[in-house]
Amino acid sequence: MLQRKALRHLHRPLGILGGVILAMAVFSAASAQEPTTEETVADLVSALDTTWLLVAGFLVFFMQAGFAMLTAGFVRSKNTANILMKNMIDACVGGLLFWAIGYGFAYGASDSANGFIGWGSFFFDDPAGFASWFFQFAFAAAAATIVAGSLAERLKFSAYLIYTVVISGFIYPIVVHWAWDVNGWMSAFNEDPFLASGYIDFAGSGVVHMVGGWAGLVGAAILGPRMGKYGPGGRVNAIPGHNIGIATLGMFILWFGWYGFNPGSTLGLTGGLAELAAKVAVNTTLAAAAGGVAAVLYSKALTGRYDPGLLINGILAGLVGITAPCATVDPWAAVIIGAVASVLMYGAVLAIDVLKIDDPVGAFPVHGIGGLWGVIAVGLFSSEAGLEQAGYSDPSKYGLLLGGGFDQLAAQLVGAGAIIAWVVVTAGILFLGIKYTIGMRVPPEEEEKGLDLLEHGLDSYPDFGPTGPGVFSPGA
């Protein structure tokens, strides 16, 4: 009994003592792990830049929805599901291929990497680089999606699966390595740029848009035009898309996504990059607006009407044109670049019709020619202050039209020529290989009835399509 009372009396002091010891241990551990002010600031800076890169990547990926709506609106209703399915599979294939090999060819660094190709980081698994991988994947998916518009309404889905693998996994990543990797032979980030500051393409007029646009041109030329597009005597027959409303929605989604594409290419916000991102956003807006206004004016002057399709593509051409120089030019130059991109786009529409190359959504005029103009515009309009703010190595070699000499323009022309040559040769081999093996084109009867019905077994608009009972369905 006495022993129990003694233990009860000792219980409270021992409990208090144990609590004190535990508290001291927790406090000591917390003190030992408490980060310094410098570490806290560094962590916040890293978190802010990573968040910016992720959000920008989300916006660029959302452009897939824009491409889907744009191309669906510009094709006929009987091919809507087909073009939407191609846009969806681009994102899926692009994700897997860019993870497995594409990122390694673009940015992989090892003893085997060189100026032509990266080598390493295959099946990417570096947590420190996940944000960068995601941002670059969104760009890769966009490049492959551009091609779909040029080949719409007559390409086999099986052929599409093959070419999107090759573009996402090989053709596009090689250009990325040349232009954006520190080891790339023409990269502005190379320690020893080949001319002036090297090839400057801030957000991808050449790297992304020219790759997609020129690959689309090659594919369309090999595939041939849609039935009924060109008549005797050089006559061009209009084949209007089925829904200008969703095409317009697609354009606005793409414009919105471009604020991830261009400002997001600062790759961060700290260290003065927030100010640069704001400037890029302003230039992007002005170029798009100027491209749209120019399209309204020349469509009325040349065709006698205000063409909404040309307005859509004029805005997009302005966006493509400003993508390379968006960080290095002043706002007044962005207006000129956007307007000229729009005019050149329309000229390209007329030119490919003369050549009887059928591009249903205008992918080559918008992306191929708009992208080429954007690359050239860097060498014409970049200011010394703009090059310095964007961090390029030799700001003294600025735009030719501003008095900076020919050097930067020469670098841009070399870079653009290299991209075009690479894409035309590799895409030519790719599409010819497909044509003479599994075939590229659907049979004439399938093209006439629509790819939705025979390639996918459905009507996009079942109430009004060929299998439905709606008032617009053909009679029995």
Minimum mean pLDDT range among 304-318, 329-343, 447-461:
447-461
pTM: 0.90
Two structure tokens written together for 305:
């009407």
Residue 255 lies inside a defined structural domain of this protein: yes
What distance in Å separates the CA atoms of residue 432 and residue 442, rounded to the nearest whole number? 15
What's the CATH code of the domain at 62? 1.10.3430.10
Residue 29 lies inside a defined structural domain of this protein: no
Three-state DSSP string of 152-221: CCCECHHHHHHHHHHHHHHHHHHHHHHHHCCCCCCECCCCCCCCCCCECCCCCHHHHHHHHHHHHHHHHH
Two structure tokens written together for 417:
């020529």
Sequence-separated (6 or more) residues with CB below 8 Å from residue 59: 256, 257, 259, 260, 261, 264
**Range ranked top by mean pLDDT from 7-11, 333-337, 446-450:** 333-337
Q: Give the orientation angle of helix 308-323 with respect to helix 331-354, to 10 degrees.
A: 120
Domain count, the chain: 1
Two structure tokens written together for 407:
């050097």
| pLDDT for res 474 | 39
Residue 476 lies inside a defined structural domain of this protein: no
Residue 36 lies inside a defined structural domain of this protein: no
Alpha-helical (H) ranges within 235-330 are 244-261, 273-303, 308-323
Q: What does the mean pLDDT of the chain come to?
A: 91
Q: What is the pLDDT of residues 385-423, one digit of tens each?
A: 999 999 999 999 999 999 999 999 999 999 999 999 999
Residue 107 lies inside a defined structural domain of this protein: yes
Residue 465 lies inside a defined structural domain of this protein: no
Determine how many CB atoms are found less than 10 A away from the CB of residue 191.
Answer: 8
> Rounded to the nearest 5°, which phi and psi values hold at 301?
-70, -35
What distance in Å separates the CA atoms of residue 338 and residue 294, rounded to the nearest whole number? 9
The SS3 of residue 202 is coil
Residue 32 lies inside a defined structural domain of this protein: no
Two structure tokens written together for 35:
């980060």
| pLDDT for res 475 | 35
What confidence tier does 3 reach under pLDDT thresholds 50, 70, 90? Answer: very low
The parent domain of residue 324 ranges over: 45-268+278-456
Q: What is the pLDDT of residues 185-208, one digit of tens each?
A: 999 999 999 899 999 999 999 999
Two structure tokens written together for 115:
């100026």
